C-alpha cells in the first residue's frame, strides 16, 4: 500500500481527479467521521461473471434507468457476453468480499465512426448508493478518455435518471432533454503528462487494494475451514 501512496504523492500538481475520492463512510450519519479513498480498478474479461452478478442483482427500475429499457435477465446476459474488452474500458469498485458493487462502462466509437467520441454508463448496487461512487467512476472515465484521445464524452440517459444527470452537470457537461430522454456531452481537454501519470497511479493503487482484499478473503476462508475441522473433531469426540 505504501508504494501506491508514494506514487500518488509523487504525482504533484495533478488535476482534481487525483485528489482522494472522498466519500462518507456512513452516509446516513449526521456527520461522517473520516473520508476514505475509493480504489477503482480496471475490469478484464475474466470478470464477466462478476459483472453479470452485479447487473442481474439490480432491481427492475434500476435496470430500466441503466439500460433505458426494462432489461430482462437474458438481455443483461447478452450485454455481458458482448462486452468488447479490447475496444472499451470497464472499471469497478469492490467491497471486502470482492463483490462488484459499482461499475462503469466507457464505450469507444467503432473505428469506422468518430474515434474521438466515447459514451459513459454506470451502475451502483442499491446498498452502496449515497457514497459518491458514480461521480468517482465518471472522474476515472474522464482521465482514461482523455488519455485515449477522446475529445467528447457522451451520456445517454432517461430524463428521470436524476442521479446520472446530476453527475454530468456537476462535471460541467451540457445536458439536452428530448422528451423522455436526455443527452449530456462534455468536451475534454487533450491528454497531458499529468493525466497519464494520474491514470498509472490510480490503477496501481486500485490493483494493490484488490490484491490485499484477495489475500484477506483467502485467509478468512482458510480460518473458516480450519474452524469447521476443529468443530468436527470436537463433535466426534463428544460422540
Kind of pairing between the strands at 89-94 and 41-42: antiparallel
Judge whether residue 167 has pLDDT over 70: yes
Query: What's residue 103's pLDDT?
Result: 96
Contact of 143 with 39, CB cutoff 8 Å:
no
Three-state secondary structure call for residue 102: strand
Looking at residue 219, its pLDDT comes to 62
pLDDT higher for 185 or 211? 185
Which pLDDT does position 234 carry in this prediction?
A: 62
As a whole-number percent, the residues of the chain with pLDDT over 90 amount to: 44
Scanning the chain, the segments in alpha helix (DSSP H) are 2-10, 48-56, 60-67, 73-81, 133-147, 162-170, 193-238
20 or 95, which is more confident? 95
Q: Is the pLDDT of residue 88 over 90?
A: yes
153 forms beta bridges with 118, 186
Output the CA torsion sign for 179, 182, 183, 184: positive
pLDDT of residue 223: 66
CB 172 within 8 A of CB 186: yes
- The more confident residue out of 176 and 220 is 176
Look at phi and psi of residue 159 and say left if phi exceeds 0, alpha if psi is from -120 to 50, else beta: alpha
Q: Are 182 and 158 in contact, with CB atoms under 8 Å apart?
A: yes
Rounded to an integer, the average pLDDT of 90-95 is 94
**Which of 18-27, 58-67, 92-101, 149-158 shows the lowest per-residue confidence on average (mean pLDDT)?**
18-27
More confident residue, 95 or 8: 95
When mean pLDDT is compared across 12-21, 186-195, 201-210, 211-220, the lowest value belongs to 12-21
Strands 41-42 and 174-178: unpaired
Distance CA 226, CA 230 (A): 6
Mean pLDDT of 185-193: 86
Rounded mean pLDDT, 203-218: 73
Q: What is the structure's pLDDT at 235?
A: 60
Q: Grid coordinates representing 202?
A: 490510480
Output the DSSP codes for 56-95.
HTS-HHHHHHHHSS---HHHHHHHHHT--TTTSEEEEEE-
Amino acid at each position: 500500500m505504501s508504494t501506491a501512496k508514494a506514487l500518488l504523492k509523487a504525482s504533484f500538481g495533478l488535476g482534481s481527479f487525483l485528489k482522494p475520492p472522498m466519500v462518507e463512510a456512513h452516509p446516513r450519519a449526521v456527520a461522517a467521521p473520516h473520508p476514505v479513498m475509493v480504489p477503482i480498478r480496471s475490469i478484464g474479461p475474466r470478470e464477466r461473471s462478476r459483472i453479470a452478478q452485479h447487473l442481474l442483482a439490480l432491481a427492475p427500475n434500476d435496470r430500466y434507468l441503466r439500460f433505458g429499457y426494462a432489461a430482462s435477465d437474458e438481455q443483461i446476459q447478452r450485454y455481458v457476453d458482448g462486452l468488447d474488452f479490447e475496444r472499451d474500458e470497464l472499471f469497478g469498485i469492490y467491497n471486502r468480499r470482492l463483490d462488484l458493487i459499482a461499475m462503469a462502462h466507457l464505450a469507444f466509437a467503432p473505428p469506422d465512426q468518430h474515434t474521438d467520441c466515447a459514451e459513459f454508463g454506470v451502475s451502483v448496487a442499491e446498498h452502496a448508493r449515497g457514497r459518491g461512487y458514480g461521480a468517482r467512476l465518471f472522474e476515472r472515465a474522464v482521465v482514461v478518455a482523455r488519455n485515449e484521445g477522446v475529445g467528447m464524452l457522451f451520456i445517454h440517459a432517461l430524463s428521470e435518471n436524476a442521479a446520472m444527470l446530476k453527475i454530468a452537470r456537476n462535471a460541467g457537461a451540457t445536458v439536452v432533454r428530448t422528451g423522455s430522454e436526455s443527452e449530456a456531452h462534455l468536451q475534454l481537454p487533450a491528454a497531458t503528462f499529468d493525466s497519464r501519470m494520474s491514470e498509472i497511479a490510480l490503477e496501481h493503487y486500485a490493483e494493490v487494494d484488490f490484491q490485499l482484499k484477495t489475500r484477506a478473503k483467502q485467509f478468512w476462508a482458510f480460518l473458516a475451514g480450519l474452524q469447521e475441522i476443529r468443530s468436527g473433531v470436537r463433535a466426534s469426540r463428544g460422540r
